[in-house]
Amino acid sequence: MSSAPTLTRRTVVIDRVLGGIERVGNKLPDPFMLFLILFGLTAVVSTAMAWAGVTVQLPGSDEITEIKGFFTAEGLTWFTQNIGANYLGFPPLATVLPILLAVGVAEKSGLLAALIRKAFGSAPRWSLPYAVAFVGVLGSIMSDAAFVVIPPLAALVFKAAGRHPVAGLLGGFAAVGAGYSTSMLVTSLDALFAGITTSVTVNLPNAGSAVTPVSNYFFNVVSSVVLIAIAGFIIDKILEPRLGRQGIGRDEVVDDDAAALAPTALDAQLTTTENRGLFWSFLAGLGVAAVILIGVVVPESPWRNEDGGFLPRSPLLSSIVFIVFALFVIPGLVYGKITGTITTGSDVPRVMGQAVKDMSGFLVLAFILGQFIALFNFSGIGSWIAVAGAGGLETIGLTGFPAILAFVLLASLLNLFIVSGSAMWTLMAAVFVPLFVLLGYEPAFIQGAFRVGDSATQVLTPLNPYMIVLLTMLRKYEPQAGLGTVIARMLPFAVTFWVGWVAVLSVFYFLDLPMGPGNGIMIPQ
């Protein structure tokens, strides 16, 4: 009898805290103006640091790099010569645009709506948050494409089930962000991290067991299960109820997909034509997958790397965007042709154009985002922040598990500025792997600890370019949403992911469990 009032008070407190964060965050300028201001601030700070002769020496390198200022001869000529390249080189464009065109075909043809009705028509509504969390956490196998594909599909699934589409959208994004550094499957990121760690330990005496792509596999599997449970719980018990309390309705979307994905559509039986379209589009998808599989398994396949494998890098892993593109476009065309939603060749560019129109705001925003990120990288400020932070932590001289927690916390903070996991691990591994090896820790354990800090906070930072993609998607449902809206709704995920993942790390540490095959916590004496 006494639990209900306590729960109500807790709910009120959560709403007030998150509402305050949202109000403060939404007082920030429009994203375009915000990043224009950040660009100007970076230009001034980099110039001041350059005039002061600030330098940075990357760990493991004898070369001393000077901070480059924007308002210098070198900086100004760099900018005037590269303004177009900075825009076109903005990393998400190469991922977002092809997938956007492909998803447009599958969506406007009606394929996605039919698939959702078929797959989730009899699924219990309570399971959807956990299904979205499962797909999101495992979505890292698609690399950056997961940030673009999974959130909008999760929104469609929730809409079709009569649940809040925004809960699916944001929950899908949070799950992808949390799971980006972990998965039940071995991904290219495992191989990439292992390669970086190995390059640091190769000249270290008594550096413990060799680090391979499966050195964190046991830790990753347990972490994935915990993060899936946390993400599903937050979506179901915190995010979606709070959206309802805020009075954000489910029917605010007025695009062409709303009618096809209404709750009543989920219960309706597919017509004979729709079932036939799904059948043939499924066969078309299998055909695409078979062609790709044959192309990569044959001896001397051009999609293998120089060693004849696929890890850590290979043309196949670099072709993920093409694979996703083909698996959306070809089944979408087949379905549209059979059901009559795509009848002529001119319909294809029309539906692609509609998809691009829906994301036109992002394409404009990407211009200033590209300039800001390019300047941040050009100036060298990001490397300076990472090296200075690492040096400060080393100076403190912590030992034992508190040192591990400080290391994870530092990675989480640096992740707000350097969202590329491989770039940050390159910088941090060179400093901290030798440091912790001297303290007796296996390099694979330190790599696993880094994964915790590398994921949880990237759903909070505006420097994550895919957060701006998410904001563009969110404004389809909430036109007035701002960065504060996204940050406030991501905060429960980030905090619980961090705490839950640190708890998993603690269990492995104190029970001395193996992180992966042949890799433990401490170097055997």
Q: By three-state DSSP, how is residue 2 classified?
A: coil
Q: Which residue has the higher pLDDT, 269 or 445?
A: 445
- Dump pLDDT digits (tens) for 120-163: 655 677 888 998 898 888 877 666 777 887 888 888 888 877 88
Residue 520: phi, psi to the nearest 5? -110, -155
Q: Measure the CA–CA gap between 131 and 164, rounded to whole angstroms.
A: 15
Nearest to 96 by CA among 362, 314, 329, 353: 362
Q: Which residue has the higher pLDDT, 222 or 309?
A: 222
Angle made by CA atoms 207, 183, 89, in degrees to the nearest 5? 90
Instruction: Give, as one character, the DSSP assignment of residue 255.
Output: S
What is the pLDDT, as a whole number, of residue 218? 93
Lowest mean pLDDT among 21-25, 157-161, 286-290: 21-25
Please check whether residue 188 lies inside any domain of the structure.
Answer: yes
- Averaged over 263-273, what is the pLDDT? 60
Q: In the predicted model, is pLDDT for residue 287 greater than 90?
A: yes
Q: In the predicted model, is pLDDT for residue 49 greater than 60?
A: yes
- Dump pLDDT digits (tens) for 198-221: 777 766 667 788 887 788 989 999
Q: What share of the chain is helix, strand, coil (3-state, %, to 5)?
A: 70, 0, 25
Amino acid at 73: A
Please check whether residue 412 lies inside any domain of the structure.
Answer: yes
Q: By three-state DSSP, how is residue 208 classified?
A: coil
Confidence of residue 467 (pLDDT cuts 50, 70, 90): confident
Angle made by CA atoms 291, 294, 298, in degrees to the nearest 5? 150
Please check whether residue 292 lies inside any domain of the structure.
Answer: yes
Nearest to 268 by CA among 259, 255, 277, 256: 259
- Averaged over 179-186, what is the pLDDT? 77
What is the pLDDT, as a whole number, of residue 332? 92
Q: Measure the CA–CA gap between 388 and 391, rounded to whole angstroms.
A: 5
**Encoded tokens for 495:** 């905090």
Please report the DSSP string for 55-96 in residue order.
EEE-TT---EEEPPPTTSHHHHHHHHHHHHHHHHT-HHHHHH
- Mean pLDDT of the residues in the chain: 80
Most confidently predicted of 85-99, 193-207, 302-316, 499-513 = 499-513
Q: Which residue has the higher pLDDT, 268 or 167?
A: 167
Please check whether residue 8 lies inside any domain of the structure.
Answer: no
Please report the DSSP string for 277-302 in residue order.
HHHHHHHHHHHHHHHHHHHHHSTT-T
What is the pLDDT, as a whole number, of residue 238? 87
Q: In the predicted model, is pLDDT for residue 6 greater than 70?
A: no
Query: What HEC string does 396-414 produce?
Result: HCCCHHHHHHHHHHHHHHH
Please check whether residue 86 lies inside any domain of the structure.
Answer: no
Domain that holds residue 125: 17-57+94-510
Lowest mean pLDDT among 76-80, 123-127, 378-382, 385-389: 385-389
Q: In the predicted model, is pLDDT for residue 459 greater than 70?
A: yes
The torsion region of residue 208 among left (phi > 0), alpha (psi -120 to 50) and beta comes to left
Please check whether residue 201 lies inside any domain of the structure.
Answer: yes
Q: By three-state DSSP, how is residue 261 classified?
A: coil
Residue 365: in which H helix or E strand, if any?
A: helix 360-379
Residue 524: is the preceding peptide bond cis (ω within 30°)? Answer: no
Q: In the predicted model, is pLDDT for residue 253 greater than 50?
A: no
Please check whether residue 477 lies inside any domain of the structure.
Answer: yes
Nearest to 236 by CA among 17, 26, 493, 447: 493
Are 145 and 95 in contact by the 8 Å Cβ rule? The answer is yes
Residue 495: in which H helix or E strand, if any?
A: helix 483-510
Are 196 and 504 in contact by the 8 Å Cβ rule? The answer is no
- The number of folded domains in the chain is 1
Q: In the predicted model, is pLDDT for residue 324 greater than 90?
A: no
pTM of the predicted structure, to 2 decimals = 0.67
**Encoded tokens for 430:** 């060179």
Please check whether residue 2 lies inside any domain of the structure.
Answer: no
Please report the DSSP string for 136-165 in residue order.
HHHGGGGTTHHHHHHHHHHHHHHHHTTS-H
What is the pLDDT, as a whole number, of residue 1? 39
- Averaged over 304-333, what is the pLDDT? 82
Q: In the predicted model, is pLDDT for residue 262 greater than 80?
A: no
Q: In the predicted model, is pLDDT for residue 8 greater than 70?
A: no
What is the pLDDT, as a whole number, of residue 35? 77
